[in-house]
């Protein structure tokens, strides 16, 4: 059994759980709750950065971050399923990087509140991160990635998690002015049951 050290609300953990489900590996991966703020959490032994998620393979090897875990699971499932091996590969990887970047900027906004006293918060830093997200969503709204039949790739899985995180942490305000992306996420959710199954309901 592989062990996934993650937390139910982590969007990067969600990427891995959706990928595992899509690849038919859900029964091979057991999620163990991890707390990145706790010094004695085994997470830090497996990943000194103390970041969620980490996958511990059946051979006991820790693998991170989420991009690397997705590659590992894809290869475990035979390869070429959520990462194209042809010319489309780089396009998918760039989409994944864009969606990961939306998540990174969004998480910095959340941390600004969670990890700092009120007097140390900086509205201009928050705006700087929010602008990154707004520009990225604007670009995606102008031309959402096509959803074809078959297993969605790593870029599309990550985009779905990035939009889901906007719903979780920013009251879904993105929905007001991104109708094409809303329709895109609806279509993704219809095609991928594990998207709803992994939604954090805390």
Enumerate binding residues for a copy of itself (CB under 8 A). 44, 47-51, 61-65, 67-68, 71-72, 75, 89-91, 93-94, 96-98, 101-102, 105, 115-117, 119-122, 124-125, 128, 131-132, 135-136, 138-139
Rounded to 5°, the CA angle 96-193-90 comes to 20
Nearer to a copy of itself, 78 or 202 (CB): 78
Nearer to a copy of itself, 102 or 192 (CB): 102
Rounded to 5°, the CA angle 69-168-18 comes to 30
CB of 149 to a copy of itself, least distance (A): 25
Q: Residue 133 and residue 173: Cα distance in Å, rounded?
A: 12
CB atoms inside a 10 Å sphere around CB 14: 29
CB of 31 to a copy of itself, least distance (A): 19
CB of 61 to a copy of itself, least distance (A): 8
**Is the link from the previous residue into 65 a cis peptide, with omega within 30 of 0?**
yes
């Amino acid at each position: 059994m592989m062990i996934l050290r993650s937390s139910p609300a982590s969007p990067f953990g969600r990427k891995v759980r959706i990928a595992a489900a899509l690849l038919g590996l859900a029964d091979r991966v057991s999620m163990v709750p991890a707390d990145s703020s706790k010094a004695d959490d085994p997470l830090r032994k497996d990943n000194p950065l103390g970041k969620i998620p980490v996958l511990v393979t059946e051979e006991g090897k820790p693998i991170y971050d989420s991009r690397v875990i997705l590659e590992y699971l894809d290869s475990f499932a035979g390869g070429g399923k959520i990462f194209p091996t042809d010319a489309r590969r780089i396009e998918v990887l760039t989409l994944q990087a864009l969606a990961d970047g939306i998540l990174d900027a969004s998480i910095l906004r959340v941390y600004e509140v969670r990890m700092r006293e009120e007097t140390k918060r900086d509205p201009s830093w928050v705006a700087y991160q929010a602008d990154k997200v707004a520009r990225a969503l604007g670009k995606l709204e102008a031309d959402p990635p096509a959803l074809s039949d078959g297993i969605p790739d790593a870029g599309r899985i990550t985009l779905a998690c990035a939009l889901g995180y906007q719903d979780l942490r920013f009251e879904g305000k993105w929905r007001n002015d991104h109708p094409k992306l809303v329709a895109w996420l609806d279509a993704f959710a219809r095609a991928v049951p594990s998207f709803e199954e992994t939604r954090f309901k805390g």
